[in-house]
Structure formats: C-alpha cells, structure tokens
Structure 1
Amino acid sequence: MKAPRLLTLVLSMSLFGTTGALASSIWGDYQGFDKVKMLINGKEQRFQEEEAPPFLIEGNAVFPVRQLSESLHALVRWNNSTQTVSVYTPNVNLLVSEHVSTDSIKMPFGRVPHGKQIDFAVFAQVDTLKTPYHSFRISIESPSGSQAVDPHVKAAGGEKESFWYSWPFTVAFKEKGDYVVKFAIQLDEGSDYTVVAEKVIVSE
C-alpha cells in the first residue's frame, strides 16, 4: 500500500538559527507552507500536481523521502500497519566487459567507437541489500533516452543480502554520447522499479 502524500516526507536539518517570521517563498506555497527548490547533483527536481513538494515548517525543510531516496539510489518501503518508512541503501557496483571467462573479467571498458556493435556482459555485485525483493532489471539507455536493447528482468523473489549477477548484451552504438547501464530493483510484485546503480559507456 502506498503511503499518504504527507507520510512520504521526512524532516531534514534545521535551516535557520531562529524560528522568526520568514519572507514568503519565491517558489509559491503548499497547503499554507512555503515551498523550496530542490536540486540533486545540480538538477532541479520536478513534482507533479498530485505530489507533495519540498516545503518549510518552522525553519525546517521537509523533503519527499521517496524522490530523494531514489535520486540517491536508495530503496523505500512503506509499512502501513506501523506507519513506518524504511530506507535501504544497497551497495551495487556495475562493470561491463567484452571478454569473460569462468574465473576472470578480461576486458572491462567504458568507451566505444561510435557506430560499432559490441557483444559484452554486464556484471552486478550487490551487497548490504537488507530487505526482501521481488525482481531486478538491467537496462541500457541510449543518449536520446530510448532503450538501446530490450531490458533483462530476473524474477528473484529473494532475500539474499549479497550476490553477483551477469547477463550478456549485444548493442549497436549508433548514437554519440552517454549510454547508461542501469540496475534496478523491484521490491514487491507490481511495484515500480528503483534504479540503485548506473554505469556510463561513452560512444565517441
């Protein structure tokens, strides 16, 4: 069950030394509270009309925990019976390699010639995954934002805290720019996938 909008928020640090009257926000208001602008790695975060944006309460900034966590590659789980939001931060490392043997990764790479088609494998090393999950997905996004190849989905239904996983792909790097390999986890069947790691391959 999804958390109510206000319960998907978390209080951050106090922004002011006093709680005196503050000038109205230049970003507008949300249910009588001043809205604040939210940047993550320099990118402004946009919110739909039905979503609760960041705002101020008595000098404290309140942020949407799901969007903040997902931007930081964390997982969020809501327990309605206990009214609890849990945030998990698995450690996920991605590696791409052209030649792989049973005991070694021989040719990792991060740059490719524009226009070349390459057979390679994506390796994911996952640890400190401290919550059950339903499945995970590996996808490769082209510079234009489309899928460079069909994503690979693995229904795991697991509780392994640490594991290795690899899958082969064949990609024609037709565009110049950054191709982004994404590893995403689905906590429950039917829920959204959350990206927890990214690896860039530069086509030049």
Structure 2
Amino acid sequence: MSDWLTDTRDSYDTVAVSYADQTRDLLGGLPHLRAALRLFAEEVRGPVADVGCGPGTITALLDGLGVDVFGIDLSPAMIALARRNHPGLRFEVGSMTEPLPEAVGGIIAWWSLIHVPDDEVPAVFGHFREALRPDGLLQLGFHVGDETRLKTQGYGGHPMRVHVHLRRPERVAEWLRAAGFTVEAQWLLGEDGAVLFARRG
C-alpha cells in the first residue's frame, strides 16, 4: 500500500468516532448539498457505490431516498462504525485506487477524492468508468482551490497525517472527460466547495 494510502487509512481509523459525531448532522445546514443528493437519487438507475463512505451517513440518506446503495471506505474503523450504525446496509473495506467489486448504475464520492494525489486521479476515474454501466451517473464533491495542505490533526484534536488537495472544477472536469465521461453540471458551493455530475460516455 502506498504511503499516502496508509497514512489516510490510519488517520481515519484514529478519528472515526469523533468524525462520525461531528459530521452526523452536517447536512442539516447545507440545503444545496441536500438538493444535490436528492437529484442524484432521482436520476440514478441501478445500484450505487458510495465510495469513501466514512461512517455511512450519506449511504443511509441515499437508502432513505429509495436508492439501492452500498458503501466502501479505506478505513476499517469507519466501516465498523457504519455497520454498527446502519445494520441493514452493506459496507465493505476497499480503496478507490482499485477496481470496484461490482458493476453499478451510479457512484457517489463526496469529499473522498481530496486525499488522492493528482497523478493517481486519472486511474481512479478509470476504475469508476469501468464499474459504471452504460449511461451510469457519477457525482463528486470536493474542496475548491489551487493548493495542497497537510492536515496533522482534526475532529477533536486527534493526530492525523493526510494531504488535502484543493482543485478547480475545470481541472476535475478535464480529467473526467479524458476518462470517457460527459460532464453534465458543475455546482459551486460558496467559495470553497463544488459538486460535479457526470455520466459514463
């Protein structure tokens, strides 16, 4: 496993409980993200992989919207939390740097691509495209900017070591098109967030 993957896994294992506590009700104050989630649920056809699902909050919300969804996360501690908190849903330990375990109609990756280095993003998008059925829907959420930050603590002051990559929507859209996706929409969320909708071409 690459050093950045090991660091990311170990960091989220460390903060799993406090992360879940601090983010459980986050969407309550974010109506535009709730709208993006509802739109994804309305448009997607077939099973959905929530990649980088963390403690399963978004997975459970999609399930509540009628989506056949399962979660994947690099952190075993996050997956253990997700299974405990949402026992009726399926969660698996896995990495977006590897092929997804099955064909799906949709993929959602909210603020999980932010830890993937630039030179590995095209391969990740290649895995996404391979897993998606024809006309499959992809939704990405990420931080907007032009820098990489090293996060050394978070979620209650616990130690972490993860690089957070801030990217412009235009750059992410270019990577998607190069991987064979059609970018359908780009939503800016204030000044520091974005959501992209894309389909497998």
Same fold (TM over 0.5): no
Higher RCO (CA 8 Å, separation ≥ 6 residues): 2
Flag the structure with larger Rg. Answer: 1
TM-score range, shorter chain: under 0.3
Q: Could you say which structure has the higher helix fraction?
A: 2
Normalising by the residue count of structure 2, what TM-score does the alignment of the two structures yield?
0.25
